[in-house]
Amino acid sequence: MKTILCFGDSNTWGFIPESILESHPRRHPPEVRWTGVLARELGAGFRVIEEGQNGRTTVHDDPFAVSRNAKPVLPAILESHKPLDLVILMLGTNDLKQILNVSPGEIAMGVKVLAQMILSGDAGIAAKPPKLLLMCPPVILDNSHLPDIKAKFPHAAELSRDLPRCYAALASALGCSYLNTQTLIEPSVVDGIHLDAAAHEKLGLAVAQKVKSLL
């Protein structure tokens, strides 16, 4: 049995785009989320652990959202789920919030901090580091039809398109595997951030193919 930890934000949690207009977020059913598709495609010899949180950042504290910083919680999550064969890391979208005011390059530096925790730790088999698959998050689309969201992410549509360059360079420097989701999927036009069911299916299939080549 091989164990895979998927560590991410609302697009790993399975946020339904239409619920952005509702009183509380709703999530896609487990089998619809890309992590569920991944588990389905990999089959009985694999255990897929879904660890997504709405609003999760790489290394930043959001003053308007409690406990969203991945840096202080990642070591405990790795410890609780070890031994892990593979960690899939997809974060960075929430770092594009205006209040955090960081560049794509600085977002990649935040990802680097998390990646080094994974690659230098003992959460893998026989207390060695697990393998790492770094995934660049999807592009953010224009969401000017949602003024409140646009105010939080005023430049994200442009900045998010520069993330693949930064993430690819980081993966190369770390010597880890890499997948650019922006070549595969786009978020729903409903909110320009979150994935619909079709995008989850497509992403899950692509990740499964990548994982099979790694494990």
- The candidate with the shortest Cα–Cα distance to 106, out of 159, 68, 69, 44, is 159
Alpha-carbon Rg of the chain, whole angstroms? 16
Report yes or no: 86 and 126 within 8 Å, Cβ to Cβ. Answer: no
What is the full DSSP assignment across 116-162? HHHHTSS-SGGGSPPEEEEEEPPPPPP-TTSHHHHHHSTTHHHHHTT
Residue 55's pLDDT band (boundaries 50, 70, 90)?
A: very high
- Quick check: 8 and 90 in contact, CB under 8 A? yes
Contacts of residue 75, defined as CB under 8 A and 6 or more positions apart, other chains included, come to 117, 121
pLDDT digits (tens, 9 = 90+) for 122-136: 999 999 999 999 999
Find out whether the peptide bond into 164 is cis, omega within 30 degrees of 0: no
pLDDT, tens digit (0-9, with 9 covering 90-100), for 12-31: 999 999 999 899 999 999 99
What are residue 35's DSSP bridge partners?
Answer: none
**Per-residue pLDDT tens over the stretch 138-181:** 999 999 999 999 999 999 999 999 999 999 999 999 999 999 99
Domains identified in the chain and CATH numbers: 2-214 (3.40.50.1110)
- The SS3 call for residue 3 is strand
Q: What is the pLDDT of residues 64-112, one digit of tens each?
A: 999 999 999 999 999 999 999 999 999 999 999 999 999 999 999 999 9
DSSP string, 8-35: ESHHHHTB-GGGGGSSS--B--TTTSHH
Query: What's the Cα-to-Cα distance from 155 to each of 42, 105, 140, 168, 176, rounded to whole Å?
Result: 37, 15, 9, 21, 29
